[in-house]
């Protein structure tokens, strides 16, 4: 069974994404409220795929991925960024850090399923 991690400070987004993921395939869905919690989960649980909000208090998504690449370089499972910002510099920075895909918020079930299918097919086949 696949294990997905959602790192997002918005409880509604966590809930919506959890339901969408559970509807896509049998899986375990873990949630973290910020980048610090997300890093802890990644080190302990090693999720198959991470959904990461970029704009969060405490530690944003970009900083979290930078720390992840520094402290857990062996983690190479897919990361899908979620962002309400369309700042090209942020998006380019995410890509340079190895984020596999990004979705612009608000997301819908169809866009989640499309990126899941593409990412899981590329990563696990």
Q: Residue 98 in 3-state DSSP?
A: coil
Residues in contact with 6: Cβ distance below 8 Å, sequence separation at least 6, in sequence order: 13, 14, 17, 18, 21, 29, 30, 31, 32, 50, 51
Q: CA 118, 53, 59 angle in degrees (round to 5)?
A: 140
pLDDT tens digits, 31-82: 999 999 999 999 999 999 999 999 998 899 999 999 999 989 899 999 999 9
Domain 2-124 has CATH 3.40.50.2000: no
| Confidence (pLDDT) at 109 | 86
| Confidence (pLDDT) at 84 | 82
Distances (CA, A) of 63 to 6, 28, 51, 68: 16, 26, 15, 9
The domain ranges of the chain are 2-124
Helix residue ranges per DSSP H, 1-125: 11-24, 35-45, 61-71, 88-96, 109-124
Instruction: Give the predicted TM-score (pTM) of the model.
Output: 0.92
Residues in contact with 105: Cβ distance below 8 Å, sequence separation at least 6, in sequence order: 13, 82, 83, 84
| Confidence (pLDDT) at 121 | 79
pLDDT, the chain, mean: 91
Spatial strand order of the sheet with 49-53 comes to 27-32, 2-7, 49-53, 79-83, 101-104
| pLDDT at residue 125 is higher than 90 | no
| pLDDT at residue 123 is higher than 70 | no
Q: 125 is written with which tokens?
A: 């086949």
């Amino acid at each position: 069974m696949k294990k997905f991690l959602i790192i997002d400070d918005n409880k509604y987004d966590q809930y919506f994404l959890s339901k969408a993921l559970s509807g896509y395939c049998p899986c375990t869905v873990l949630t973290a409220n910020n980048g610090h919690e997300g890093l802890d989960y990644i080190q302990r649980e090693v999720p198959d795929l991470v959904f990461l909000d970029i704009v969060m208090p405490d530690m944003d998504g970009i900083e979290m991925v930078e720390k992840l690449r520094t402290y857990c370089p062996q983690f190479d499972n897919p990361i899908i960024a979620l962002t309400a910002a369309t700042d090209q510099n942020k998006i380019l920075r995410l890509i340079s850090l190895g984020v596999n895909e990004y979705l612009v918020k608000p997301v819908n079930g169809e866009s989640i399923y499309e990126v899941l299918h593409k990412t899981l097919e590329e990563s696990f086949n």
